[in-house]
Structure formats: C-alpha cells, structure tokens
Structure 1
Amino acid sequence: MENCPEQQPLFTFGVIADVQYADLDDGYNFTRTRRRYYRTSLQLLKNAVKSWREAAVKPDFILQLGDIIDGFNKSHDASDRALNTVLTEFSSGPAEVHHVWGNHEFYNFSRSALLRSRLNSALNSNRTVNAAPADSDIYAYSFSPVPGFSFIILDGYDVGLLGREESSQKYKDALSLIRQHNHNTDLNCPVFKGLEERYTMFNGGFSKVQLDWLDSVLSSADEKQERVTIVGHLPVHPRSTTPICLAWNYDELLSIIRSHSSVVCFMAGHDHDGGYHRDIKGGVHHLTLEGVIETPPDSNAFATVSVYEDRMELRGCGRVRDRVFRFQQDEGSIINAVTDLQIS
C-alpha cells in the first residue's frame, strides 16, 4: 500500500514572548525569586530566528507577544539602542513580525512614541489591516494571512497608567479604577486577594471603544465563518495564567469572545511560566507562552504553528511544549480538544 502524502498546512507562523533584552548581567524579578537572563535573551531570539529562517516550510509571519526589551534599558539610557538590536535580529528572519505591546514597551517609551515607532505593525505591515478607530490612540488591528483565517492584535494597556501622561483624563480614570482595588502606596505591589491581584500598575485593560471594535470585527468573522486567533500581551482567562498577570477587565473581553463562534484561540505572554486552558464555554484555546527572559541560556522558548482546516499544530522548542488545538466543527459537536503531540 502506498503511503499517503503528508498533509501540508495552509500556512505557518512563529511565536515568541517576553524577550526583554538588555545589555546587562543577569538579574531577578521584583520579588528576587526568579532569575532573568537579560543579555543572553538575545541569543535565544537568534536561535528562534535561525530556526524559522532554516525551516523547510518557512513561517508566513511572526507574532512577538510583547516585552521585546526590558524596562531597565530606560534607566541606562539604552532604550533605542536595545530596541534597534532586537529589531535587527527580527529583520534577519524570513517573514514580517507583528508586534504586541507589553508593560516593558511602556517602561521605555510613551504611547505617542510607540505609535510612531517600528513597533507599530499596523503602520509597517505589508498586509492589509483593519485598524481600531482612527480617532483613538488604541493599538489594535486585524489581518488575514489566507482566506478563512484572521488574527486580531489587541492593546492590553488601552486602559492603564503606563504610557499615559499623568495630566491626562485617561491616566486619572485608570488611577481611580486601580485605587478601588489596590490601596498600596506602590501600585506595582499587588493585593493578595485572589483575582484582585491583577490590579497592579504593570497590568491594564481594554476600553469600551476597543471592546466595541473587537465585537464588530468578530461579528463580521462569524458571518464569513472565519477562524480567528486573538493575540495580546495580557492573558484573559484566569485558568491560563496566575491572577497577578490577568488583564484588569478580562471578564468583559472573555464575555465577548464567548459570544462569537469564530474565535478558536487566544495567545498571550506576560506570565513567564506560560499556561494553557481550554474554555469549556465555547471551546476556545487560551495559550500563554513561556517567556524568553526567564529561560536559561542552554534552553529555548519559541514555537512554530502550522494551521490546517481543522486544527493548529504548535511545535514548541525548549520550554514550550508541543500541542494540537482542534477547532470546533459545528454548534452541536464536542467542544475543541487539546492533545499533546509528540513530534520527532
């Protein structure tokens, strides 16, 4: 019997999170319990780009899930230099990069500066994008790599303190919101009350304008019967991360996701340990990718995802494990299942 030919993916893409590069010796997180490899994170990025560049099937695009450089660059007057270093590495890869903004982007740059920078992929993409309302300063957009599939990049700090002028109304509104839950002098210090931990300065949320835009984009995707993957820095399902890494109003965004049949996956960074949960309400896969910054130099932390009509196969490298995300076929079918996939 002849062997059946191997099924070819419709497209592939790479994904990497929390590089947090800085030309500094190793350090620790804010509680000094976790080692961070600031300088050698660049080598792990190089490893990822080399793998994508030399792959037999090269990725069509790369998702960079935020925190591309570390906040310590700001105090060393090295923000521009560090960003140029990592973007140079990305530019040597085989495909364009779609950048998500995390808290460390805002430690280094103002929102207005980011909107003008090379990290604004909506402006710099070669693809046609559907951006958030032009009269807002929200960094959110969607694009379609092939017919029937689309990706949505979200702005997890649209509501927040980071990157905002302290004199602005948006800053004042965010400060009022966080103060309702966090009464610490240092707002980077959480209140340890379950899900209330998420109300810290290094997290943020989504405005009504952004949520309404997302709802509209997903309604259109539902009508077209598209498969949609949503991408952001902050996780939005409590079981895909620790509470301290959740978006402030994750519940509002989760409600919108659950109301649309088109969404198949939500990808996030921020939680360097990574995480995964399949939401029983709709079967959406919530993946939190392990962060490069806390990955030892002798390992790796990136993935390549192959997309088929009925599933996405994620091939992890180093700390990132292999997974298969199956798509829900119809309203009456069993909800999506995730299966560990051993790929030789």
Structure 2
Amino acid sequence: MDDKPSPGTVNESSELLFSFGVIADIQYANLEDGYNYQGNRRRYYRHSLLHLQGAIEHWNKERILPCCVLQLGDIIDGYNAQYKASEKSLELVMNVFQMLKVPVHHTWGNHEFYNFSRDYLTNSKLNTKYLEDQIVHHPGTVTSGNYYAYHFVPFPKFRFILLDAYDLSVLGVDQSSPKYQQCLKMLREHNPNLELNSPQGLSEPQFVQFNGGFSQEQLNWLNEVLTFSDTNQEKVVIAIFPFTQRPPIVCAWPGITETPSQSYGLMSVWCVSLPVTLTMVATLRILLVCTTSI
C-alpha cells in the first residue's frame, strides 16, 4: 500500500518552505456591479477594488509574508475602453497594488487587450518581465520573441513560469500587420460563425475571438525551461490564462493542450489559473491551496 501523503494533507513531518498569493479577474471599472455574459455570476466592477484591498491586507498581515503574488489577468474590465477610462482605471488598480509588501507578477488576459495594444502593455507597469530569472549558460531559456513570458525562482528548487496565452491573437494587434492577418485566418478556418466570439456549433470551441494561443516559438522556449527544471529536479508552477479545472486542460489555439505535467512527463508541475483569490503554501511534499471567492 502506498504510504505517501495524499495531495491536500499535511502531517507533522511537513515543513513550510514558502507561500505565495494568487488573484485573478479583478476587472475593475467605475460602474455599478453587474453580471457576467451568461448572467449567472455577479461582477463587482467598482467594488472589485475593495476585494483587492482586502486580499492585500490579508497578505500583508501574514506572520510569514508570501514571497510574491501572481496576478493572473483581466485586471480591468473591457468596459473601460468604451468610456475612454482605460489608463485611469489601470492607474487606480496599480496604486492599490502599491500597498502590497511583496513583488507582484502580472499576466495578461483578454480584457487587457480590450483596453490596450500589445505595444502599450509591453511598456506599461503590467510588464514584470524585469523580475525574471537568468539561467547562466542556458540561452534557450531566455525568451527571444515578441511574446510576454518569463520564469523566476521564488525559493530554491521551485521555478514559476508565466505564459502568454495571447501570443497568437487578433486582440491588441495592429489590423494591418501580418500577424493579425495570420491569426484572423486561423480563427476563421476553425470558426465559420459571423460572430467570432460565438462557439455555437464548433467542434473546437476554443476558437473564439476572445481566446488566443501559443506560437511554436513560445512552446519551444517552454520546452527548454521545463527540460532544465526536469534535469535539475525543480518543482514547477505555471501561471497561465485561460485554463479549465475539469478536466485540467488549456483552452487555447491552435488546439486544446494537455497540462504540462502530462505533456512533458514532469512529476511536480502545478498549473495556476483560477477566478478566485488564493494563498498557496508549498511544503516539502505538497502544495496546499486555500481559496476565498472574490
């Protein structure tokens, strides 16, 4: 009988190594609260700042501070673009993040691209690539393309990887550019609907306009980083947008991708992409996830 501790359990021999926070889908806008597209989930537009403040206050009061916080995208809502309030709303949210006592790592979701171009985001405070780790003598682990992805080490033998799930996308790209035309062609080949945000009748429902995908260049880079981590027996946490929990698959172009633990044979890989506030605690054997809804 296997006497290993099951995931989600802590025993007396477990040793706390470090913790980190996760928050996603803040989607701030200076609007009254509303509902999501399906009309079945509350959206806290204006009040989302209060939820963010509450999360930050919680992290700052921890006896042992988390090593960092992962912000997993959709930091402001697409409504801001309609009211020409994108920059002001982003500034408000970033000012709240300044209260945080630890570094924050940002990923980009579709709402970032509803508000800003990729060039704008690259030169904004939402680009935290300056926090990346440099692996000496392994040039393949350094990003070389226009995608926004990087990795860092919050604790010895643990590597975090942030991916760009809109590397291939029609969002945030100049419509006259070859990349836009390439992505639009790919989208229309898989989605014949007049409304490209509609998955109606699609055998591959991930091919909608609000989704994106990974270029082969980014996947090659990811392979290099995971190979390095595997060789050096590192545990890996991947921050990614978008992601479904059941089954654990990445819903991105060009196809539904298995989780990296399946694709690369790594034994210790966790994917982080949840519409909740999380505090994650890494121990010698397990990763504990405690969730509180936002």
Q: TM-score, normalised by structure 1?
A: 0.75
Equivalent residue of 1:67, what SS?
coil
Residue 282 of structure 2 corresponds to residue 311 of structure 1: no
Which aligned pairs between 1:250-261 and structure 2 lie closer than 5 A? 250-252=255-257, 254=259, 257-261=262-266
Cα distance in 2, alignment partners of residues 6 and 237 from structure 1: 30
CA contact (8 A) 1:226 1:262 kept: no
Deviation at 1:255, TM superposition (A): 6.5
CA contact (8 A) 1:236 1:250 kept: no
Cα distance in 2, alignment partners of residues 262 and 167 from structure 1: 43
CA contact (8 A) 1:160 1:171 kept: yes
- 2:148 matched residue in structure 1: 139
Deviation at 1:129, TM superposition (A): 4.9
Residue 274 of structure 2 corresponds to residue 265 of structure 1: no
Instruction: Specify every segment of 5 or more residues in structure 1 that has no aligned partner in the other structure, as ranges.
Output: 269-288, 291-300, 320-344
Which aligned pairs between 1:59-74 and structure 2 lie closer than 5 A? 59-74=66-81
Q: C-alpha offsets along residues 93-129 of structure 1, whole Å, 9 cap, x if unaligned?
A: 1211000100000011100111111101103x3x635
Deviation at 1:251, TM superposition (A): 3.8
- 1:221 matched residue in structure 2: 229
Residue 212 of structure 2 corresponds to residue 204 of structure 1: yes
Residue 154 of structure 2 corresponds to residue 149 of structure 1: no
- 1:233 matched residue in structure 2: 241
Cα distance in 1, alignment partners of residues 134 and 154 from structure 2: 10
Cα distance in 1, alignment partners of residues 223 and 173 from structure 2: 25
Cα distance in 1, alignment partners of residues 290 and 265 from structure 2: 27
Which aligned pairs between 1:65-84 and structure 2 lie closer than 5 A? 65-84=72-91
Q: How many residues align?
A: 279
Equivalent residue of 1:180, what SS?
helix
Residue identity matched to 1:162: L
- 1:88 matched residue in structure 2: 95
Which 4+ runs in 1 deviate beyond 6 A?
Answer: none
Residue 184 of structure 2 corresponds to residue 175 of structure 1: yes
Q: C-alpha offsets along residues 131-187 of structure 1, whole Å, 9 cap, x if unaligned?
A: 7533x2110000011111000000000011111111111111111111112112221
Equivalent residue of 1:68, what SS?
coil
Q: TM-score, normalised by structure 2?
A: 0.87
Deviation at 1:197, TM superposition (A): 1.6
Cα distance in 2, alignment partners of residues 310 and 68 from structure 1: 32
- 1:42 matched residue in structure 2: 49
Larger RCO: Structure 1 or Structure 2 (Cα < 8 Å, ≥ 6 residues apart)? 2
Deviation at 1:27, TM superposition (A): 2.4
Cα distance in 2, alignment partners of residues 220 and 207 from structure 1: 20
CA gap 1:236/1:315 in 2 versus in 1, 3 angstroms: closer
Deviation at 1:26, TM superposition (A): 1.8
CA contact (8 A) 2:59 2:66 kept: yes
Which aligned pairs between 1:48-63 and structure 2 lie closer than 5 A? 48-63=55-70
CA gap 1:238/1:177 in 2 versus in 1, 3 angstroms: farther
CA contact (8 A) 1:236 1:251 kept: no
Cα distance in 2, alignment partners of residues 30 and 77 from structure 1: 21
Deviation at 1:215, TM superposition (A): 0.3
Deviation at 1:18, TM superposition (A): 0.5
CA gap 1:153/1:20 in 2 versus in 1, 3 angstroms: same
- 2:114 matched residue in structure 1: 107
Cα distance in 1, alignment partners of residues 30 and 245 from structure 2: 34
Cα distance in 2, alignment partners of residues 316 and 256 from structure 1: 23
CA gap 1:65/1:87 in 2 versus in 1, 3 angstroms: same
Cα distance in 2, alignment partners of residues 267 and 7 from structure 1: 22
CA gap 1:213/1:151 in 2 versus in 1, 3 angstroms: same
CA contact (8 A) 1:61 1:97 kept: yes
Q: C-alpha offsets along residues 16-40 of structure 1, whole Å, 9 cap, x if unaligned?
A: 1100011111223334444322111
CA contact (8 A) 2:260 2:269 kept: no
Deviation at 1:263, TM superposition (A): 4.4
Deviation at 1:59, TM superposition (A): 0.6
CA gap 1:170/1:45 in 2 versus in 1, 3 angstroms: same
Equivalent residue of 2:190, what SS?
coil
Residue identity matched to 2:152: F
